[in-house]
Structure 1
Amino acid sequence: MLGELMARFPREGRVEWLGVRPAREAPVEVREAVEAVAEKGLVGDRYAGGSGKRGVTLLQAEHLPVIAALAGLPAVEPEWLRRNVLVSGIPLIALKGRRFRIGDVLLEGTGPCDPCSKMETALGPGGYNAMRGHGGLCARIVEGGRMRLGDAVVAVD
């Protein structure tokens, strides 16, 4: 029963924003499309040559107002949070341990994407704690391809 409930989604998600982090201290570059390389990462992103488990980082769009409220800010922009893909309409945590497709790309949710110390600068004092539980999801790229703004985010059985 629980397995059936966990496999059911009310609707598809949607890509609302895309970005890459070219270097550790470099600002995030906002993109309309990104190229994903299997078992590597996104072309132009600093993690593209590293661990496949963190090939893509995703953030829940619905969490932005929560993060802003917890940080005491009127709003939070996705590029401040240094993730790759902002997704709406589908609960990212439900994709942990599952395969899902965005555009041409097949991904597998590998685990939570915990905040880093940079959130203290991005969001102000307490920014790290404002992000805890809202940091999103890390994913491995199983099949490479292209992701675009507006692409559907669909769980794969």
Structure 2
Amino acid sequence: MMARVAQPGRVTWIGGRSGRREEVVAVERVLVKPGGLQGDHARKGKRAVTLVQAEHLLAIGSFLGAGPVAPEVLRRNLVVEGINLLGLKEREVRIGGALLRLTVPCHPCSRMEEALGPGGYAAMRGHGGWCAEVLEPGEVALGDRVEPV
């Protein structure tokens, strides 16, 4: 039962930034390589790519008394919908042409207070998404399927 998913997910947003505190730029497609997304600031290993569920954008906003949070505010690379990322922990996941392994939770940082306002850090706890390592590079585009291997 744990290995099955009800349906594949899909990519709804892609973003990256050239440096640590730089503005996040949304794109329609990107090459995912061992160091993360092409053009994104360098991460390595287990934290090369960050993902968050679209469903959590609404939850975070709700905890703040607002509507869904804009993806670029959370500074994650990929927003996916329709699949539970927690159920994919430590599993290989095909996203478009890339093969990733979800590794560790992507906990919020103290910048979320700055980005979301008072209580932003607490609103994101448990909803910050996941980090992943790149097992096979490939292109990822909006609308691509997200499914376990």
Give secondary structure in 1 for the equivalent of 2:100: strand
Aligned letter for 2:74? Answer: L
1:23 equivalent in structure 2: 19
List runs of 5+ in structure 2 lacking aligned partners: none
Partner of 1:37: 33
Match status 1:76 vs 2:69: yes
1:98-117 superposed matches below 5 A = 98-117=91-110
In structure 2, what is the Cα distance between the partners aligned to 1:18 and 1:106? 16
1:73 Cα deviation from its structure 2 partner: 2.0
Q: Which letter does structure 2 place at the counterpart of 1:18?
A: I
CA deviation map 1:72-122 (0-9, x unaligned): 223310000000000000001111100010111000000100001111111
Q: SS where residue 146 of structure 2 aligns?
A: strand
Give the fraction of aligned pairs with identical amino acids, expressed as a percent: 54
- Root-mean-square deviation (CA, aligned residues, Å) is 0.9
Paired position in structure 1 for 2:127: 134
Does 2:27 match 1:46? no
1:37-65 residue CA offsets vs partner (Å, 9 max, x unmatched): 12x11111113xx3211111000101111
Q: How many residues align?
A: 149
Q: TM-score, normalised by structure 2?
A: 0.97
TM-score, normalised on structure 1? 0.92
Partner Cα separation in structure 2 for residue 129 and residue 145 of structure 1: 35
Following the alignment from structure 1 to structure 2, what is the Cα–Cα distance between the partners of residues 75 and 153?
22
Give the structure 1 partner of residue 5 of structure 2: 9
Partners in 2 of 1:87 and 1:113 — Cα distance? 15
Native 8 Å contact 2:59 2:68 kept in 1: no
